[in-house]
Each structure stands twice: as structure tokens, then as C-alpha cells.
Chain A
């Protein structure tokens, strides 16, 4: 199950705290792996922009890297502490976490990945 499908499934179970928690636990490995991979990806993207001699893209990627790292840490913290978070808090925090994850994916699709393609094309053309 993808992360978006996992978020939707959790939202559908919000009224049932046991099944809601179980859904979050079930999607945890995928979320943690995804965000870990993304954290590793951004420095590589910045390095790619430098190699492509695109100082503007390098600068932008570093801004994204800084901001995304903060988001990643917060999302990871949420999923890593599921067992010790009170159910009411879990439900309210999940709404914010889900909105942050979706906003991030949308930003990456709209803004970040096209920038990456730009520098990748420069490198391919060499």
C-alpha cells in the first residue's frame, strides 16, 4: 500500500482508536523508509546541481533540503512514537502530519522534481 493510500485508510478509521493505531503501525515501515530515502536524496540532488554547474539550482535544492529535513524529522518522530502517544493526541497530530506529508509530496512533484530533471538533462547532454 502506498503512503497516500495508507493516509486515506487511517483517516477512514479515525473513529476507532484501536484500528486507527493499527493502521498507523502498519504503514510505519513504509513511511520511515520513504523519508529516510528522501533525506539521503536531497544532498545528492544538490551535488548533482553543482556538477551540472547550475548554481541557481544548487542554491534552491539546498533551501529545499533544509526545509524538508525539518519536516522529515517531525514526521519520523510522529511515527516512531506511536506506541507511547495518547490516542486523542495521536488523532489530532495525525491530521497535521497527513497534511504536511501531502503538501510535501505536492511540492516535490510541482517544484522539486522538475528542477532535478533540469540538471539531470544538462548532465546527460555532456
Chain B
């Protein structure tokens, strides 16, 4: 039985048990995780990645109540097949087949020397705490990414007494009226959002959501927020401004990777051909078409604020999940915080005007390098951010 997803159309958000959920693909999930894991000299990557998962999942399970089918939730969200049958109050073993993270990692980076399913470990910890009360610690002792036949998690009593509660939908504010430029297109955004809502985007019999040429998850928005912002906190604490700047570069590139694969996959999909492409009379309509799809992903409301064909995009996001979460969990920021939005803005323009996604190129690693690093590519920056006190998050992507 599926767990109901609440759609907050007026906020362009989706939630389960009060926790916001957003669609993201294995390319983004694995790239983001790898960016953190590779800084092991500066951050405690294992706890950073697993603790955040335990916190957001535990908060959601608590809201869903004692009878929630946690394996069904795991499967529905696209993380794989979770088996907790042998878990008891004194611990035990949990297993995951077809783990999103393990399979995604292997497909992108090949075999790993160490387990990679940090999110799953946190999920299992939250499940144990939810079912049995008290504190538990979880360690992944076998991982498909390392060659095991399934991922296995050892659960033991003990660990943190209390988990930090997640901030839920975060800090929401009234949105200003949408810019007139946002509707200067023949693309029917409302129809696209409605159609996307009808797509079968829940996990299949293997707990996988394989669409648009990627493996999708309906992930916990606050997981991304916590791991990203704690990552830059830990980096700054260990190596100051240099680490903070490097973190921004890594997280923004994660956004570009996301755009390249997810936006690219969507714009090359049969669904795009059937529903959106026929509405696109100009190249610029492709920008509007993709922005319309994004507005069905639970990322907040994206709007085109200005568009010079082939040269410059000004993009506004109302209620970005990044700023909602940052403000609620970390307070006011001195610097822009929407890394995904920044990478998304440059990614969108590079796909349409640099990569000519209209010609359906193969979205390979080599083509990624070509698209974002060669020729006259687009670079983006966030010029206003809600986390700094602005009304909206505003991005400019310009051609170099």
C-alpha cells in the first residue's frame, strides 16, 4: 500500500508526514555524496551522511505513526527493497536489495573499496528507533558497491540519545506576484505540472524509479540541506575560507551534474516528446518547458525573469527547498546558499544553448566535460538569496 504524498501546489512542494520530498537522480545523489566522502581529511563524512538521514527519516516516521510500513516507504521512494524482519529490540540485521546508492555508485564510479549506503544506514537507524524506542547505531557491513550480493546493516543498541528533529517544510513566506516574463511563452505550465503529477514515479517491484534514463528517488529535501550545509560548516571549521569556497564549488557542480542528467534525460524522453515538445515553438520555449517540469519536482516555484536567447537567463525561485531548509535549520546566512539552484541555472542554459539538447546528444561523462568546460559555456551565480534576507532567490546565468 502506498504512503500518501501531500502536494502543496501553492508552494510547489510535496511532503510525506510533514517532511518535504524532492525528486533527484542517482547522478546527483552519488556525485554529492562523493564530493563529501572525498573530503575525508577535513570532515567526518560517515556520521555527516548517516546522521542526517536518521534525523529526517525519524521525524517523518514519528509523524506517520507506529503502523507505517517502513519497507513500503523505502521502496516507494526509490531506495530499493528493505528487509527488517530479523530486527528486534536488541538489534540484529537489516538488508537492502537493489540499493539506489550502491547501484548508482557502481554504475557511475565502478566498484568501491568501502560501503557507500550511508543514507540507508541512517534510514535503518531511524526505523529501529521508531519501532523499539531508545538509541541504536547502524553500520553497513556488506555493500553491493563492494561486490556483495545485497547490502547488510548491523544494528546495535546505543548511540546518540536524542536525534535533532527535522525542520519539516522549513521557513515559508508569502510569495510576491510572478514576473510577467514567466508566462511569455506558448508552453502551458499548468498542464505540464498536472501531467507530471500523473506519471508513475513511485518505486517498482525492485524499489527503483527508472525513468528519463536515470534512476530517480523521491528523496528527503532536508537530507540534502543537512548534508550540504553541515558539510560547509565542518569544512569551514577545519580549514576556514578556503574550505568554504571549495565547498561552494563542489556543491554548485553537483547542481550542474543534476541538471545535465535529470534535465537532459527529461528533455530527451518520450514524455517530453509527447507532452512538451509540441508546445515548443522556439528554442526559448525549451527553457520554459523545462522550468515547468521543475515546478513539478517539489523544488519550489521556478520562474524565468528574463531571457536573452543564447546569452543570458535570469531565473527566480520562490520558496526554494534549499532556502526553506537553510533558514529554518541554520538561520540567516551571510552568503547565498542555493547551490542546486545555481548549478541548475547554468545547467539549463548549457543544455539548451551549448549542448543543443534538441539534437538528443548522448549524455556521457565526456559530453558533460565538453558542455560545461569547453567553448563559450554559461556560468551562473546567485545574486539574491532568501537565506540572506531577500524576498526571492535570484540567479543569473551568462555566457562566457
A contact set with B: CB distance below 8 Å? 55-57, 59-60, 63-64, 67, 70, 73-75, 77-78, 92-93, 95-97, 99-100, 103, 107, 110-112, 114-115
Contacts and interface: CB of A to CB of B under 8 A. Distances in A.
B400 A60 contact: no
Contacts of B398: 95-96, 99
B34 to A, nearest CB: 13
Contact of A114 (B240, B377, B381): B240
A74 B312 CA distance: 17
B399 interface: yes
A102 B381 CA distance: 13
A96 B381 CA distance: 11
Contacts of A97: 400
A59 B39 contact: yes
Contacts of A92: 311-312, 399
Interface core residue of A63, A77, A103 (most chain B CB under 10 Å): A63
Contacts of A56: 39, 41-42, 238-239, 243
Contact of B249 (A55, A63, A74, A95): A63
A60 B246 contact: yes
Given A60-B242, A67-B249, A93-B400, 17 more contacts: A55-B41, A56-B42, A56-B239, A73-B374, A74-B377, A92-B399, A93-B376, A96-B400, A97-B400, A99-B398, A103-B381, A111-B240, A111-B241, A111-B246, A112-B245, A114-B240, A115-B240
Contact of B41 (A59, A96, A111, A115): A59
Interface in B345-400: 372-377, 379, 381, 398-400
Contacts of B245: 64, 107, 110-112
B376 A114 contact: no
7 contacts: A64-B245, A77-B400, A92-B311, A93-B376, A93-B400, A99-B398, A110-B245
Contacts of A96: 379, 398-400
A86 to B, nearest CB: 12
Contacts of A115: 239-240, 242
A55 B375 CA distance: 33
Q: Is the interface of A mostly helix, strand, loop or mixed?
A: helix
Contacts of A107: 245
B244 interface: yes
The interface size bin for chain B is 20 to 34
Nearest to A85: B376
Contacts of A60: 42, 239, 242-243, 246
Nearest to A116: B242
B244 A59 contact: no
A120 B39 CA distance: 21
Nearest to A68: B249
Nearest to B35: A63
A114 B249 CA distance: 18
A16 to B, nearest CB: 21
Contacts of B381: 103
A45 B39 CA distance: 18
B38 A59 contact: yes
B250 interface: yes
B309 to A, nearest CB: 12
Interface in B111-135: none
Contacts of A95: 398
The 10 closest A-B pairs by CB, nearest first: A115-B242, A111-B245, A55-B41, A96-B398, A63-B246, A111-B241, A111-B242, A74-B400, A56-B41, A56-B42
A93 B375 CA distance: 12
A57 B239 contact: yes
A60 B38 CA distance: 10
Interface string B243-268: 11110011000000000000000000
Contact of B399 (A63, A67, A93, A110): A93
